Amino acid sequence: MQETKKGLEGIVALDTSISFIDGMQGILKYRGIDIEHLAEMSYETISYLLINGILPGEQELAAYSNRLKSERRINGEMIDIMRVCNYGTEALDSLRTAISCTAHMDHENDNNSLDANKNKAVRLIAKLPTMIAALYRCKSGDFPFQPDETLSHGANFLYMLRGEAPSAIEAEAIEKDFILSAEHELNPSTFALRIAASTLADVYSAIITGLCTLKGPLHGGARRGVMEMLDEVAVPENANNYVLYKLSRKEKIMGFGHRVYRTYDPRSRIFKDMAKRVAKENGDPTWYEVAESLEHVMYREFLDVRGRPIYPNVDFYSAVIYKYLRIPPELATSVFAIGRVSGWTAHCFEQYADNRVIRPRAHYI
């Protein structure tokens, strides 16, 4: 039997046409298109691209956008469930339950045809922002706001969360967040989900598998960790001592490092620029400056001690943006899932289309 590769590092597990990463050169493409180009489009366009494999024409996009908008609402039963399943400190635990309930309420749940599965994808993409905003509002004892169909996917989410429409820069920032979070090849949650799909489990079951895997602090949960770290560090002058103290205790600094990238993550570059613009509009650049100081110290320490720098990953500057957008830390991992659900559903379809059950071996010791 072959030698064990801890963490499956470097193992190529399957073929995909959904995304491409060059970790040495810092290149990321969805369906053959560079992320820098995609970041200028709408999230609806990107989700269409991921699910259908091609960019929509004007008419297709208008029809898709209308479908998504018409599916944004959640019913009263769902809101009642959210009031009950809302005790923990992490919104994702409740979101998991909410998605499970959506499956019960979906008349196509048992239909595993591609058409029915694409309908489920539309429902999930449309409803996730509404569910998360409703969870937050219910927890504070407030009534959820109804979705506003005149607003974009991102702007509508911020509206439902805060009760006021965001500024143009805030709307651009959250839209970019959803786009840049939408897909990333065989990251842990997508791989977990593909294993579930390979057993021919239904789309909702596979998505919940992905969602549960996203929760961990070494994966999507790092975004919340970064938000908490920004508060803890508080001012740029504290960054040096904070990093040195954590590294001396062999603790991880959230939002740094990546299994695949050996250079700057192209998504982080776009997030960094966006974070700077959001900070400027806000008028208080402190969180942005704290983040820049942490990046600087981490780069220096890794280069000095290990001869190789470490770079911010997708969770780092996105967390700075969340601070400025007033997204509560307990929602951070769930908000990541709003973007990622398009990539997840695309991977489900790809797995179903050319399936063999994913079942590796273990080395017995």
175/265 with CB nearer ligand ACO: 265
Angle between helices 222-233 and 314-324 (to 10 degrees): 60
3-class DSSP string for 54-71: CCCCHHHHHHHHHHHHHC
Which of the stretches 11-19, 87-95, 203-211, 250-258 binds ligand ACO when contact is defined by CB under 6 A?
A: 250-258
Q: Are 110 and 103 in contact (CB under 8 A)?
A: no
* Near ligand ACO by CB under 6 A: residue from 144, 147, 220, 329: 220
Interatomic CA distance for residues 345 and 68, integer angstroms: 15
* Near ligand ACO by CB under 6 A: residue from 162, 219, 269, 300: 219
**Of 51, 24, 10, which Cα lies nearest the Cα of 264?**
24
**Of 28, 35, 160, which Cα lies nearest the Cα of 46?**
35
206/314 with CB nearer ligand ACO: 314
* Near ligand ACO by CB under 6 A: residue from 127, 258, 267, 272: 258
Judged by CB under 6 A, the chain residues 187 through 206 that form the site for ligand ACO are: 187
Phi and psi dihedrals of 181, rounded to 5?
A: -95, -5
CB of 6 to ligand ACO, least distance (A): 8
Beta strands in the chain (DSSP E): 19-22, 27-30, 33-34
Residues shown for the chain = 365
Which of the stretches 15-23, 131-139, 218-226, 347-355 binds ligand ACO when contact is defined by CB under 6 A?
A: 218-226
DSSP state of 28: E
* Near ligand ACO by CB under 6 A: residue from 73, 252, 280, 326: 252
Is 255 one of the binding residues for ligand ACO (CB under 6 A)? yes
Q: Is 37 a catalytic site residue?
A: no
- Tell me how crowded residue 275 is: count the other CB atoms within 10 A of its CB: 26
Number of residues that bind ligand ACO (CB under 6 A): 17
- Tell me how crowded residue 13 is: count the other CB atoms within 10 A of its CB: 12
* Near ligand ACO by CB under 6 A: residue from 218, 235, 244, 303: 218
Q: Are 5 and 11 in contact (CB under 8 A)?
A: yes
Six token digits for residue 204: 């909702």
* Near ligand ACO by CB under 6 A: residue from 83, 118, 259, 277: 259
Six token digits for residue 200: 């021919």
CB of 82 to ligand ACO, least distance (A): 26
Chain centroid to CA 262: 21
CB of 339 to ligand ACO, least distance (A): 11
Catalytic residue among 93, 153, 177, 258: 258
What radius of gyration, in Å, describes the C-alpha atoms of the chain? 20
305/365 with CB nearer ligand ACO: 305
Interatomic CA distance for residues 67 and 50, integer angstroms: 16
154/343 with CB nearer ligand ACO: 343
CB of 148 to ligand ACO, least distance (A): 29
Judged by CB under 6 A, the chain residues 314 through 333 that form the site for ligand ACO are: 314-315
Nearest-CB residue for ligand ACO? 257
Q: Is 284 a catalytic site residue?
A: no
Name the residues annotated as catalytic. 258, 315
Residues binding ligand ACO (CB under 6 A): 7, 187, 218-220, 222, 252-259, 313-315
